[in-house]
Amino acid sequence: DAKTTQPPSMDCAEGRAANLPCNHSTISGNEYVYWYRQIHSQGPQYIIHGLKNNETNEMASLIITEDRKSSTLILPHATLRDTAVYYCIVRVDDTGRRALTFGSGTRLQVQP
Amino acid sequence: ETGVTQSPTHLIKTRGQQVTLRCSSQSGHNTVSWYQQALGQGPQFIFQYYREEENGRGNFPPRFSGLQFPNYSSELNVNALELDDSALYLCASSLVSGGIRGTQYFGPGTRLLVL
């Protein structure tokens, strides 16, 4: 799986959009970008994933650059409950049988 | 549908002892993965079970072993506990096909402290 690089921490004001970047310059054509988050003392939670096209669900939007070397997770209206560590993970297939390789993630602090 | 559950939530053991952690998969999921998360770090993959067979293993010694049962629930066993085994142990279940493929659904974890 391709290596990812994320900033260690970010702050965001409550109600504003949180934009979390991820670099994955060595991504292969068949690798997907997944985002998970981990709220303090809980298990990681799936947020969204994509291959080439931008994706949106009820939690977030995922913007993948045309060359696929980077992506941005957007939380459109951050709340205090979005304070968590966010992990960007690149993996080669989308079956449930391969392990997730977590990096250090980005610690997002939403400020009141 | 029920989510992934783990027991116990917290556990304290002493060095050299053995421990068994338990996980119940999300309904209908046939794959279970176990992860170890040390304080301040991301989860690290221990091993995965698919249809009761070990399907992959991370860089963990043989004293970490597991089982998956016909109902897809799972156990993680750790023998000869060491101080460095103190961590949050996470179980995740997933579907090989159907649903949102590639996603793993995590339980709340078991926090193990080895003294």
pLDDT digits (tens, 9 = 90+) for A33-79: 999 999 987 999 999 999 998 999 999 999 999 999 999 999 999 99
Which of B41, B43, B94 minimises the CB distance to A44?
B43
Decide if B42 contacts B97 (C-beta within 8 A).
Answer: no
By DSSP bridging, strand B110-114 and strand B10-13 are parallel
Locate the chain B residue with the closest alpha carbon to A86: B42
Residue B54 has pLDDT above 80, yes or no: yes
B42 C-beta neighbours (distance < 10 Å), count? 19
Confidence of residue A95 (pLDDT cuts 50, 70, 90): low
State mean pLDDT over A96-110: 87
Locate the chain A residue with the closest alpha carbon to B106: A43
Q: CB B96 to CB A97 under 8 A?
A: yes
Q: What is the pLDDT of residue A41?
A: 79
Confidence of residue B7 (pLDDT cuts 50, 70, 90): very high
State mean pLDDT over A17-35: 93
Confidence of residue B102 (pLDDT cuts 50, 70, 90): low
Question: What's the mean per-residue pLDDT of chain B?
Answer: 91
Which of A94, A103, A105 minimises the CB distance to B102?
A94
**Cα–Cα distance between B99 and B70 in angstroms, integer?**
21
